[in-house]
Structures are given as C-alpha cells and as structure tokens.
Amino acid sequence: MTASAAPTTEASGAGAPGIRPVYEIRRLRTAAERAEAAALVQDRQRWLTARGLAVPTLVDVPKKFGDPQTPSVGLFEDGLLLACMIPQVLDDLYWDAGPCLFLEHIHTLPGHPDDLARLITLWASDCAARLDLPLVRAEMLALGDLLAEPLAGLLRRRVDLGWDLRGAGPGRNGDRAARLDLRAEHRSGLRALIGCYVDLHPTPIGRVS
C-alpha cells in the first residue's frame, strides 16, 4: 500500500456564524487527552469482555492511544471525550483495492446515551466525501462466527447505519476481523451538529503496514 495524493480535509466548524456545533472531532493534542483516550479504550474493552465479545490480543491498543506519535482523534461534547479512533487516508487496503478513509481502533464510551456509532458514521462519510475519497473502511474484531450473537448484533447495527459487511479475515493487526465499508456522502448541515477540526493527510508509506 502506498500513500495517495488525496487532498487534506479542511478544518470546519459551525455551519453559520455564532452557532457552535454540539460535538467536535479533533486531534488528541495533550498528554492528558491521550491518557483519557487510553482509559476510555480500557473501559470499552472491559465492557466488551463482560458481554462475551473479543478484544485485541496482538496489539496493546490503550498504549497505542497513549503514544504521542499516534495520529489519534477524539469525538468530544463540551470537553468530554466520547469516542476515539485513528483515521488514515490510504491508497488501498490489503483486503480491497482503491483509496479510502480507514478508521482504525474505533472505541466509544460505554453506556453513553447518545448514538455514538451513528455520529461517527455521519462524520466519516462526510469527511471522506470532502477528501474526494469514495469509501470509508473499518474493521471490527471478529474471532467467532459472524452470524452468532453477540457479535451478529453489533454487525447488524453497523449495517443498519449504512455500512456494508465484506466478510472477515486477518485484520491489520493480525487478529481476525469483520471488514466493513461505507460510501462517502456529502451531508449538508452536518457542521451544525459535528464540527470537524482535523486535517487528514495521505499516510506515509512507512506508516500503513
């Protein structure tokens, strides 16, 4: 895989002067924010384990979010971190050819009343469209049968949100994963809901393996 020549996103705030978005997506800039993200990942992993769902075995995800070299971003509401992930612009992904916005290690705050998966889906499809990318791609850890609960329920939810399930196989970090993609779509008015303050650049060749 090689870096694409896709443009960067433009940092975009509210849709009109004086209107502050309800949520914002931005880089995790400080050590405190990175530590908060690592703690959120640990909380999410405990939540998954308690429900019989798998967590990564071949990569230390909390440590990854604590690393200042990781290009991680967070979804915030009034300063509260609701979700974190690592978005990357790739020329192609080993399980499907073509450029995409790849969302790696998506983790949401357990028990939060807002539909965080829907918010991330809306933002990601709009972000990819602004980058002139056709698709968003993501992986979900899937060590068992995709049709067996409780994993099947999580996958159905993603499909209901507009994601397409592309089977399963080795993930980028080695564990078996379900493969998902989402069509890019410009979403008029989204900036009033989610302010995007992230500049995404094509991932350097040495960073995509």
Note the pLDDT tens digit of each residue in 65-101: 999 999 999 999 999 999 999 999 999 888 888 999 9
What contacts 37, CB < 8 A, 6 or more positions away? 28, 65, 66, 72, 74, 81, 84, 107
Structural domains of the chain in order of their starting residue, each with its CATH number = 23-201 (3.40.630.30)
Low-confidence stretches of the chain (pLDDT beneath 70): 1-18, 202-209
What is the distance between the alpha carbons of residues 23 and 61, in angstroms, rounded to a whole number? Answer: 24
